[in-house]
Structure 1
Amino acid sequence: MEVAELDEALKVLDSSLSLIKWRLKSQSRRRLEIDILALCTGMRPVVMIDYGGKMPELQDRLCALIKLIQKQSPIFEHLKVMVVEDMIYLIHVKGLSEYIRSSLSLEVPLLFVDLEHDPPKMITQAENSPVGMQLISIQKFFSTLFPQDGIKDDLLSCHRTESMGDATSSTHEFVTSQSSEFIDLSSCMHNTLVTVPTLNGWLLGYPVVYLFSTEHIADAIYNLSTKSLRIFKILVCRNAAPSKGSQLEELLSFSVPYDLSMGGSKEQWAEAFLAHMQEKWERCRPAWSSLQMEVSECYPQAIVL
């Protein structure tokens, strides 16, 4: 995406927000711009929208926005709104399809932090945990919904499975969605021990995912709240017209217990993740002028999972 296309996309987004009368605070508006540009330029396949309002109004506004911007520019054609339980996301269908494929083929290294025990410990193989195995089943389930050739027209709805134990052979019950911009996949969590934070960690592309079951939520909250954390941020700077200027902005961030990330940005997995993000950045440098990792520390505090 060239700078001119980037500016045009932002103009379409800005005018569409005005047309649907979505009055976002300046910080939320800028966050939405970054998230949508990250999707359209291939920097991220999924972003979580935890700003701009509450459900179900937030879902309605996002669906209206996506429908409107897609009518005005092909840049946004692969974007959709996705809901899993009480979480809402924007996804790039082709980007998510590729990310799922790379996850299942283990092209993208993924580590897990077991929060069910104190102190938390790092797990390198999801197969070593029952919850990890169920997460893999959910990934396989997602792969049937988002094949390499893009989402199927008859799958623009919620798919309910009797069991996630065998995602490839489960019987799917289709529930018609309200619009082609919206996909409800809440049922992927049914009959599993996988928690939303664990699913989020994978969906949002974090290299380290918190792993705990629905039976150990209280343990996970305690074990994380009593530990110092390191906050890893990927910061980007947009290429913008000289008159508009540019600044570093957060693309994504995640935390890891301090004792499990003593090397900070020099941790092997952190360096690999930064290299992975830089590869993406190289493919869309006309849109982003720089990318860097920033690491900070956070003392123990109350955590909500």
Structure 2
Amino acid sequence: MRPVIMVDYGGKMPELQEHLCELLKRCQKESPSFEHLRVMVIEDMIYLIHVKGLAEYVSSSLSSEAELHFVDLEQDPPKMITLKEKSSVGMQLISVQKLFSLVFPPNGMTDEIRLPNRTDHTIEATSSNITISPQSTEVVDLSSCICDSQVTIPTLNGWLLGYPVVYLFDKEHIADAIYNLSTQSLRIFKILVTRNGPFSKGSMPEELMSFSVPYELSMEGSNEPWAEMFLAKMQSKWAKCDPTWRTLQMEVSECFPQAIAL
């Protein structure tokens, strides 16, 4: 139900990469269901991705099928904005999304993975690309996708991991963003699922994903229009995975201001 899962960051990256790649090799030998899975690396972040699912997600992001909302953490207090307000970092995020669309094209993504050459700070790809067969590469390294832009890893992760609300700030305002968010009470939105199976009757809900939004910017909780749209989208995906997941629900809780790491 999610094309990208963040596995870990920092720590023993080479060892983690090796272990994940070895695990994928074994899984792919056992079942064709795992053929579209890859390991992706961006700087010191490591992800497990579904190549076809990510291609579809990137395409839908660029076609504005689901408009993202952003929390501008450079402002105190933070403010909810959309890309229509022409945030400079938001515009650069679109450039990154376009780069991803070249790496993971909607058609033929099982035949090749294309790694564009960077040409300038806007990260627009040219027609000269390095083409690598997915059968010959175990790790898709896109560390260069944000190195020349002001897009931060937390902003990129918010989009990649499918959050409906993404924290937005540039690399020159990281300290401001941390302070501005640390002074806010937050709402924590969780998507919980329970498994199907012979022992699923008494199984406990498992967290599929979670994200936070400043309390003052999400006063209606799960009744916020963007929250309702997001839940409907997740329920649509859940319906396609009916044999695996028995239930899906959104849970909303609150937490008081506390130190935040971004």
TM-score category, normalised to shorter length: over 0.9
Partner of 1:265: 222
Quick one: which amino acid aligns to residue 34 of structure 2? F
Residue in structure 1 matched with residue 17 of structure 2 by the alignment = 59
User: Among residues 182, 191, 213, which one is paired with 1:256 in the alignment?
Assistant: 213
Q: For the structure 1 residues 177 and 288, does the alpha-carbon distance in structure 2 shift closer, same or farther, using more than 3 Å as the test? A: closer
Per the TM alignment, residue 144 of structure 1 is displaced from its structure 2 partner at its CA by: 0.5
Find the residue that maps to 2:126 and give its secondary structure.
Answer: coil
User: What is the Cα deviation at residue 109 of structure 1?
Assistant: 2.3
2:173 aligned with 1:233, yes or no? no
Partner of 2:120: 163
Map Cα deviations across residues 61-96 of structure 1 (whole Å, 9 max, x no partner): 111111110011111110000000111100000100
Partner of 1:221: 178
Percent same amino acid at aligned positions? 66
Alpha-carbon contact 1:161-1:170 (below 8 Å) kept:
no
In the alignment, which residue of structure 2 is the partner of 1:186?
143
* Structure 2 partner of 1:197: 154
Alignment correspondent of 2:258: 301
Flag the structure with higher helix content: 1
CA distance in 2, matches of 1:127, 1:287: 40
**C-alpha distance in 1, partners of 2:222/2:253?**
10
- Following TM superposition, by how much is the alpha carbon of 1:177 offset from its aligned partner in structure 2, in angstroms? 9.9
Contact 1:164 1:188 in 2 (8 A): no
Q: 1:217 to 1:174 in 2, by over 3 A?
A: farther
**Counterparts of 1:252 and 1:193 in 2: how far apart (Å)?**
26
Say yes or no: does 1:44 pair with 2:7.
no
Q: Aligned pair 1:111/2:73, yes or no?
A: no
Cα distance, 1:182 vs. partner? 1.1
Partner-residue secondary structure (3-state), 1:304: coil
Contact 1:159 1:185 in 2 (8 A): no
Residue 209 of structure 1 pairs with residue 166 of structure 2: yes
**Structure 1 residue matching 2:219: 3-state secondary structure:** coil
Determine the C-alpha separation between the residues in 2 that align with 1:225 and 1:184.
32
Q: 1:118 and 1:99 mapped to 2: Cα distance?
A: 32
3-state SS of the aligned residue for 1:190? coil
Counterpart Cα distance in 1 of 2:254 and 2:127:
44
Assess, with a 3 A threshold, how the Cα gap between structure 1 residues 141 and 265 changes in structure 2: closer, same or farther: same
Question: Unaligned regions of 5+ residues in structure 2, if any?
Answer: none
Partner deviation per Cα, 1:97-128 (whole Å, 9 max, x = no partner)? 00001100111221000000100000022561
C-alpha distance in 1, partners of 2:175/2:228? Answer: 32
Local SS of the residue matching 1:165: coil
**Alpha carbons of 1:285 and 1:233: their partners in 2 closer, same or farther (altered >3 Å)?**
same
Structure-1 residue corresponding to 2:40: 82
Structure-2 residue corresponding to 1:140: 98
Give the corresponding residue for 2:89. Answer: 131
SS at match of 2:96: helix
RMSD: 2.4
1:190-243 residue CA offsets vs partner (Å, 9 max, x unmatched) = 210000000000000000000000010000000011111110000001112238
What corresponds to 1:26 in structure 2?
Answer: none
Counterpart CA distance in 1 for 2:130 and 2:139 is 17
**Aligned CA distance change for structure 1 residues 284 and 254 (closer, same or farther; 3 Å):** same
Distance 1:150 1:246 in 2: 39
Name the SS for the 2:23 alignment partner. helix
Number of corresponding residues: 262
Letter in 1 for 2:119: E
Match of 1:94 in 2: 52
1:115·1:212 contact (CA, 8 Å) conserved in 2?
Answer: yes
TM-score, L = length of structure 1: 0.80
Unaligned runs of 5+ in 1: 1-42
Rounded Cα–Cα distance in structure 1 between residues aligned with 2:84 and 2:141: 26
**What is the identity, as a one-letter code, of the residue corresponding to 2:236?**
E
Give the strand-richer structure, 1 or 2. Answer: 2
> 1:281 aligned to 235, 238, 241, which one?
238
The CA deviation at 1:60 is 1.1
Q: 1:126 to 1:46 in 2, by over 3 A?
A: farther
Amino acid at match of 2:158: G
